[in-house]
Structure 1
Amino acid sequence: MLNDQKIETFRQLVENKFQIYNSLFMSLPYDKMTNIGMLLPFLAEESREGYQLGKSPEEIVEEFFQKHTELKTEEQKLELLFKIIQYIERQVVLFDSIEDAAFQDLHSESDPGTVMNLYDRASQEHHLAAIRKKMEDFAIKIVFTAHPTQFYPNAVQRIIHDLRDAIINDSITQIDALLQQLGKTPFVNKERPTPLDEAMSIIYYLRYVYYQTIGELYRKIKQVFGTPNFTPSPDIIQLGFWPGGDRDGNPFVTADITMKVAEELRISILKDYYGHLKIVRRRLSFRGVSDVLTALSKRIYDSIFHNDTKISAQEIIAELDRAEKILVEEHNGLFLSVLDDFRDRVKIFGTHFATLDIRQDSRIHQAVIDDIFKKVINEDPESKTNEEKIQLLLDSGAVLNPDDFEDEMTKDTLMCVYNIKTIQENNGERGMYRYIISNSDDVKDVMNVYVLMKLCGYADEDIHIDIVPLFETMEGLDRSQNVMEKLYNHPVYKKHLAKRNNKQIIMLGFSDGTKDGGYLKANWQIYTSKEKLTKISEDRGIIVVFFDGRGGPPARGGGKTHDFYASQGNTIANNQIELTIQGQTITSVFGNKDQAKFNFEQLLTAGIENDVFKDVKKDLTEDERALLSELAEISYQKYSDLKAHPMFVPYLQEMSTLDYYGRTNIGSRPSKRGGGSELKFEDLRAIPFVGSWAQLKQNVPGFFGFGFALKTLKDAGRFDEVKALYKGSDFFKTLVLNSMMSMNKSYFPLTYYMRKNPKFGEFWNILFSEFSLSKEMMLELTGFKILMQEEPLNRKSVKIREKIVLPLLSIQQYALIKIQKGEGNTASYEKLVTRSLFGNINASRNSA
């Protein structure tokens, strides 16, 4: 019944409003776009009917020109297609804004996964004390990355925010004006953004969404769970930040950029404090209190605008404590809650706003260490083992000057390590306290960072840094237990860990794991790796925190995040939930206050529920484990065979948009690793890899091998075992539902024409066969009639979006076909692919 009400609300507030406001587009005075609103439905209908009849995108677009236009020249046709893309991009923004505006009406304060729902459940089951106990040392941390999965220019982001507000207020005049502004505002960055541009884009959300959202949510948690003897820690919700610190594969992130971003974070939070303090002072206008707050406001102002003046979070809190003392003793504590709320924000955000992480690839570190070794030890690094090099450098007692090195990477890496101390002095220790090493698969990968700290003159007691290995490939995950075991026993590292309160953060890469091992294998491998790492850590008295590098869609480890974390059993350490949020997930899941608050709550309660409410569906039995391992291995073999197919990389390169990702100017980072012209699988970055499958509407990494594994067990007469696993294990159920989400967003009719391709026809058929099998097997397993049957709202949202972008996909495929045939103006068709790619990326906020 509740679902029926929500579907009706969605129909009224989203579908109907979209129809109404979309009609405004038709009368907007866009340059040369006047007729697009009338022509677009024809292309949409030609696409819908044409694909059902097995027509190719080329046939569909050419028939559209023939039947509905009088255009003759290629130039005229291309101009129309570009205008259609621009029009659809703006339709997507309108739909996003309408959907965002309806969020509050579609979700309530007592929905499953909210703080109030957690409180009500805990009260009924007498678990409030256990929840408070869990809250003493539990936290969630969202780490924002700049990975290029969606980036509207800042001007468009601001229009989206204003449009959402206008839709909430049903202001037709304002909506009309904003749609006009949208029509004349460019959606494409002329130049690739710099890492600083990317940082400023996300700092916009910090300032205008998260400062209020997290402050209000913390106040709510205090009100609901606080007692005279218990106050939840202000650290219960934390923010992390990668733009400007993530130098893995990004040559544009330098030590200088990192310093600039750290300073922008410091200044931005102080600006929020300065604005908030004005509101506080409006209420606390009393003698004595007002003087303290006015002086504090001036100090914060000076710290924003004068480089030589710095104020720490501790100093701000000390002044607020002074103001409170006067307020209580002389003014009856009037408006004390207003002061409390402000002080809580300072405790939450400090002078750092979000913790800036450094990340670099282990292979870069090794090259730097080898370069240093040659200079300091004056020997050939190849003549020594890694352990010998580390020991010799530690024993040397050398303190290096970055300017003494010719290699730019060595120089910049050393400068970056030196700057950590300055950033901690300016932004507080929380401003930067983690150094993440990509592609970790050996002890030396972690120890190299420790050595760099020592070579930059840090005494042991001054290394206020957590060194975080990132295990992301199947090989890396396989070796993770062995690596951590050796590290925990390493005398030097053991001492360092003791100084870090015996707390070890370990990062696991879902995106690269899925790319490397396929969907089912990657998720199971990460699950079992976490179990092993939990055991060896706890056996040695180490508090282990897992940091998950998850993307937005299931194919990059995303999907239904609350369900994923709530499904993990007690064999996995649950000290903190940490995950990356990137691209379209920032805007679609945490893009405004209502959504952000709801989704922060979902994560927080998932972690707490996991410990407090025992559920047999979370803990896997030995038989369930054996079955999951078997399914994972079968699917891995099937996926590995696909990767080994000689057409795998050529298909992506020639038939998809892979080569065009680097031209979209949505991210500062190159779209592939390595500088060679020949593309290798290992050079592919997870985002363009998964994104290219999504643009083809094939979403291969989200399901491939899963259906084959299910069918293998069915053929062996063991499907009842799999059904029992689905019913009995929340973890397996979540994997199945997320994989179904990937398939629901696939549309193979778009590429039916590839079946006849002499080079790639056989390969396409392999993909389509596995898709059909996976869909058939999962529907049989779940008992569903359709994919995403239990998620009607999500399904509706996806359906409308797919309908909006179908003409865009037709145009993209049409242009790719023209390029493959070498027909017409290749440069223009390539530009068409890039523009439609950009439009699709932005449309895919909930894409798989």
Structure 2
Amino acid sequence: MSLKNLPITPLLSVQLDEQQEALFANNELLANLLGETIFNYAGLHIYQTTENLTAASKNYYKTLKHVARENLSLFCSDLTDSEILRVIRSFSIAAALANIAEDVYQTHQQRRVRISNKLQIGTLEKSLQNLKTKGISQEKILEAMEKVSVVPVLTAHPTQVQRKTILDITKKITDVLDQYENVKLKQIDEKEWIDKLNREIQIWWQTSMLRESKLRVTDEISNALSYYNITFFSEIPNLINKFQEISQKMGNSVQNSQSLIPLTMGMWIGGDRDGNPFVTVDTLEKSAQAQAITLFQHYFSEVEKIYRDLSMSITMTNVTEDLQALADASGEVSPHRTKEPYRRAVTTIRDRLVATAYNLCDKNINLLPPKRKNGVDVPYRNSKEFTKDLVIVAESLIRNNSEFLTHGTLNNLICATEIFGFHLATIDLRQDSSVHEVCVAELLKSANILGDYLSLPEEARCKVLLRELECDPRILSDPTIPQSELLSSELAIFKKAKSLHERFGKKIIEKNLISHATSVSDMLEVAILLKEANLAKGNKENEFCDLYIVPLFETVEDLEAAPDILRKWFSLPIVQKWMEKNGRKQEVMLGYSDSNKDGGYLSSSWSLYKAQKELTAVGHEFDVQISFFHGRGGTVGRGGGPSYEAILAQPEGSTDGTIRLTEQGEVIGAKYGNPDLGFKNLEALVSAALESSALTVEDAAWEEYENIIEEISKLSYHSYRDLVYNTEGFSDFFFEVTPINFISGLNIGSRPSSRKKKQTLESLRAIPWVFSWSQARIMLPGWYGVGTAFTKWINDDEKKLEVLQKMYAEWPFFKSTISNVDMVLSKSDVSIFAEYVKLAKDQKVAQEILKEIVTEWELTIDVLKKITKNDVLLADNAELASSLRNRLAYFDSMNFLQIELIKRARKFESIDEIPRELRKAIHISINGLATGLRNSG
């Protein structure tokens, strides 16, 4: 296709206000400092090249003429490998600095909103107002507050391309830039402030941006845990205290209000074995240990603060008997502390906390403070005992006219103990169903029960498994019989889970997830493996199952089959008995990635919606509370988009206040790399869960709209499948026009990019699939098939268009779906993608496929305009539009540089033959684009 005929992304133009002028000024300052650094360390030529590329890109947006971009290709082709490496570093850092400036800008905006008391979407106050406006009674709101349970689960999928060292540098720059308001007020010397920024940028330039070796699981654990000290330890207690205070103000009792814990944390890293051979029993132990160490170090720090604060003398105040008993238990202390009962009581608490840490973290005692000589060497049996001692301190202060002294550190620590216990976050176990069945088959064969389990049909499999669970109390494994490495490693995981339960309590590991669950036998196979570690039993004397067995339904076909699978599961007597002991609860995980890769965005979104609605009905049928775990990624193509809107877009009654969702890749840094923004994002999750819990099925009925989207979804499914799976040469097209083969070699995660050694579309993981399309700036998984589906359904009927416009105005699911497509298209650029298409070997086929993609892109833009009644993308999201416009020049330059790099790399027969500097430059280009796009995976 001719470049001149390609459409231009119709992005909203934004007028700068006073606050955005400050953002622009900070962007300009950081860009200038980076420019000076480039000049000093890379020389005049590299500096001028980056300036020329930026100018050419900006000229395109001023003129909106494709000819302006022709210079970009020319500039890139003239550079040597060494030069291009330095230029791509420049733009990668520039994109990250733009992120920092925006994060600080949003932080200041958030503070202004708090001071003004203006109600903002995503806050608890606004959600309460929304519910009251809809006529929801105070009594019903309080009932809903008791149900709210949100669990963000940190995962390590291979989209987080930043090194931990670089993350630390960006944190320092963020902290310095955050002081800008004080610079304006002349409270900080401006030159010193700029010098600090300059120092960090210079360090950044001289720091390697890439890992020299493959990221290890232990690195991923460390990266994830770093966000606790940045955000979670401070902001989760603040949020929960706010939630409890609102409950109390609404008339709930103090005791009931303080029992509300609407948010806890989850973790996949160390327990998620699906497709990752590097997650073993050792990494599970290391994950639990690392969590505990991180937590105890926080507890020690907070206890020390309380010790320093509570210097009151018994000669000046009274204390309760319980507090005095705690003080007396401290034994020998400094003579200076004999009349300071609070400090003596805190000494007892600290001694017991140290003893507990030594007991639980026996492999890492070198990271713990030393035990006090003659101290109280009695570990807490559980975190509740620790909480109880802290409450004794608080109650003594309250009863003696010092309640104000409980505010802040003490109350937050008490709250933290109830959230984090001694385990910090619940670690999920996950493995593919195919691994479970192979392991069970080996166990049955080695025990001389059944020689060929894998050949049995579903019904026969269930019969065999139920017999072993219900009738035979013995385990199947025998230490005298050799086991395969796979079976041995899987059994070791479950035995370790049992050990961790005994040490940290059952909250350390609560769930076992089954990837690609397609049957009841998939779930029973997990029960057999749990039985081997004494985590489950089915015999009549003592039925129990200590882990929730959670099926993960991923493809469109699996989602459609899910209700029947759960119906059969709930009908089993053994499952009924387990649920009686586990509160009649069942979690179901929904896979966004694979369903999207399988059927396209619209079909995936609708299949997920339907599955939730139908599964919720199945739960009501069997008196089981079904909750959903949303496997969301960063992109729209993987369930991304604003979390607040996404939760409210779920079928009414399906969340019931309980929701788990994955937070992964660069999204973790974007959401939680700053405490103010972290609080905002966490509050949005809790607020949305509260609203969705209070709005029952009776409050809204969308049957007419659901029937319409059912029709449109089928049209979208076929359109997407026709392109991706039924177009001859499409697989080769994908592998040739995107940087997928280089993504596979980048050290951005411990997990391989493909489930099988040979890369095909079928074996390719959904994460690199989406990641690759994002890099090439077409974002295909997030919108393809939408334009054709809606256009065919409307069929030039104005009345049908009016119906869709009404759906957009009234139905949260439809509004969220369309808004997400709008958002992802705003980051796409057809003419840049056309440059990637030139990389394909068979240009005749490639140009035909490009023509199909461009036609669908234009159709989708056109139908979005009609439904939303907006002439541009992001018409309702000026903040994101402004953000994109601030960084588009960096994106475009990096894309053209990446294309040139891929051209050069293709001259070599294998990745290993590519010169080091060239390979490094490609990886930095991937790094830079992911950083700039922020929700690329």
When the two structures are superposed, what TM-score results if normalisation uses the length of structure 1? 0.93
The SS at the match of 1:663 is coil
Residue 27 (1) aligns with residue 103 (2) = no
For residue 207 of structure 1, report the CA deviation from its aligned partner: 2.6
Q: How far apart in 1 are the matches of 2:263 and 2:297? A: 21
Q: How far apart in 1 are the matches of 2:393 and 2:273? A: 43
Give the match for residue 372 of structure 1: 443
Residue 281 (1) aligns with residue 356 (2) = no
Q: How far apart in 1 are the matches of 2:346 and 2:659? A: 36
Which one of the candidate residues 637, 648, 651 is aligned to 2:718? 637
For residue 336 of structure 1, report the CA deviation from its aligned partner: 3.1
For residue 37 of structure 1, report the CA deviation from its aligned partner: 3.2
For residue 820 of structure 1, report the CA deviation from its aligned partner: 4.5
Which one of the candidate residues 203, 206, 211 is aligned to 1:184? 206
Stretches of structure 1 lacking an aligned partner (at least 5 in a row): 67-75
Distance 1:670 1:795, change over 3 A: same
- CA deviations on 1:617-665 (whole Å, 9 max, x unpaired) are x834332111110110100010111122122221111111111112110
Q: How far apart in 2 are the matches of 1:238 and 1:841? A: 29
Question: What count of residue pairs does the alignment treat as equivalent?
Answer: 834
Q: How far apart in 2 are the matches of 1:131 and 1:560? A: 24
Which one of the candidate residues 574, 577, 582 is aligned to 1:495? 577
Letter of the 1:38 partner, please give it.
Q
Distance 1:405 1:323, change over 3 A: farther
The SS at the match of 2:264 is strand
- CA deviations on 1:405-441 (whole Å, 9 max, x unpaired) are 4311110110111111221222222111111111111
Q: How far apart in 1 are the matches of 2:796 and 2:535? A: 61
| CA contact 2:527–2:536 (8 Å) conserved in 1 | no
For residue 573 of structure 1, report the CA deviation from its aligned partner: 4.0
Alignment of 1:147-296 (within 5 A): 147-170=157-180, 171-227=193-249, 229=253, 230-286=256-312, 287-296=340-349
Residue 540 (1) aligns with residue 549 (2) = no
| CA contact 1:292–1:322 (8 Å) conserved in 2 | no
Q: How far apart in 1 are the matches of 2:147 and 2:37? A: 55
For residue 513 of structure 1, report the CA deviation from its aligned partner: 1.3
- Between 11-20 and 26-35, report the one with greater CA deviation: 26-35
Which one of the candidate residues 767, 781, 793 is aligned to 1:701? 781
Letter of the 2:393 partner, please give it.
A
Letter of the 2:881 partner, please give it.
R
Q: How far apart in 2 are the matches of 1:112 and 1:575? A: 18
Alignment of 1:274-423 (within 5 A): 274-286=300-312, 287-305=340-358, 307=361, 311=380, 312-328=382-398, 333=403, 335-337=405-407, 338-382=409-453, 384=456, 385-394=460-469, 395-399=471-475, 400=477, 404-423=481-500
Letter of the 1:837 partner, please give it.
I
| CA contact 2:77–2:900 (8 Å) conserved in 1 | no
Q: Which has the higher contact order (CA 8 A, sep 6+)?
A: 2
Distance 1:191 1:9, change over 3 A: farther
Distance 1:517 1:56, change over 3 A: farther
Give the match for residue 564 of structure 1: 646
Residue 115 (1) aligns with residue 124 (2) = yes
Residue 760 (1) aligns with residue 846 (2) = yes
Residue 61 (1) aligns with residue 73 (2) = yes
For residue 106 of structure 1, report the CA deviation from its aligned partner: 2.4
Q: How far apart in 2 are the matches of 1:570 and 1:250? A: 36
Distance 1:401 1:350, change over 3 A: farther
For residue 23 of structure 1, report the CA deviation from its aligned partner: 0.5
Alignment of 1:332-731 (within 5 A): 333=403, 335-337=405-407, 338-382=409-453, 384=456, 385-394=460-469, 395-399=471-475, 400=477, 404-458=481-535, 460=537, 463-612=545-694, 619-643=700-724, 644-675=726-757, 677=758, 679-715=759-795, 717=797, 718-731=800-813
Distance 1:123 1:750, change over 3 A: closer
For residue 613 of structure 1, report the CA deviation from its aligned partner: 5.6
Residue 79 (1) aligns with residue 82 (2) = yes
Which one of the candidate residues 99, 104, 108 is aligned to 1:105? 108
Give the match for residue 366 of structure 2: none
Letter of the 1:19 partner, please give it.
E
Letter of the 2:389 partner, please give it.
E
For residue 811 of structure 1, report the CA deviation from its aligned partner: 0.9
- CA deviations on 1:679-729 (whole Å, 9 max, x unpaired) are 222211111101111111111111111000111023252323322322332
For residue 457 of structure 1, report the CA deviation from its aligned partner: 3.0
Q: How far apart in 2 are the matches of 1:279 and 1:520? A: 52
The SS at the match of 1:682 is coil
- CA deviations on 1:722-750 (whole Å, 9 max, x unpaired) are 22322332211111110011111101111
Letter of the 1:696 partner, please give it.
A
Distance 1:573 1:333, change over 3 A: closer
| CA contact 2:131–2:691 (8 Å) conserved in 1 | no
| CA contact 2:771–2:936 (8 Å) conserved in 1 | no
Distance 1:582 1:259, change over 3 A: same
Distance 1:278 1:173, change over 3 A: same
Give the match for residue 71 of structure 1: none
Distance 1:536 1:379, change over 3 A: closer
Distance 1:490 1:499, change over 3 A: same
- Between 629-638 and 791-800, report the one with greater CA deviation: 791-800
Q: How far apart in 2 are the matches of 1:143 and 1:403? A: 39
Give the match for residue 69 of structure 1: none
Letter of the 1:342 partner, please give it.
L
| Pairwise CA RMSD | 2.7
- Between 577-586 and 284-293, report the one with greater CA deviation: 284-293
For residue 326 of structure 1, report the CA deviation from its aligned partner: 4.3
| CA contact 1:546–1:576 (8 Å) conserved in 2 | yes
| CA contact 1:140–1:576 (8 Å) conserved in 2 | yes
Q: How far apart in 2 are the matches of 1:33 and 1:388? A: 73
- Between 551-560 and 56-65, report the one with greater CA deviation: 56-65
Q: Which has more radius of gyration?
A: 2
Q: How far apart in 2 are the matches of 1:6 and 1:121? A: 30
For residue 301 of structure 1, report the CA deviation from its aligned partner: 2.9
Residue 779 (1) aligns with residue 865 (2) = yes
| CA contact 2:552–2:588 (8 Å) conserved in 1 | yes
For residue 819 of structure 1, report the CA deviation from its aligned partner: 4.1
Give the match for residue 809 of structure 1: 895
Q: How far apart in 2 are the matches of 1:785 and 1:458? A: 58
- Between 420-429 and 153-162, report the one with greater CA deviation: 420-429
Give the match for residue 73 of structure 1: none
The SS at the match of 2:269 is coil
Stretches of structure 2 lacking an aligned partner (at least 5 in a row): 1-11, 181-192, 313-339, 363-377, 538-542
Residue 93 (1) aligns with residue 96 (2) = yes
Residue 770 (1) aligns with residue 850 (2) = no
For residue 31 of structure 1, report the CA deviation from its aligned partner: 3.6
Percent of pairs identical after alignment?
Answer: 24
Q: How far apart in 1 are the matches of 2:901 and 2:807? A: 45
For residue 285 of structure 1, report the CA deviation from its aligned partner: 2.6
Q: How far apart in 1 are the matches of 2:44 and 2:348? A: 57
When the two structures are superposed, what TM-score results if normalisation uses the length of structure 2? 0.84
Distance 1:665 1:401, change over 3 A: farther
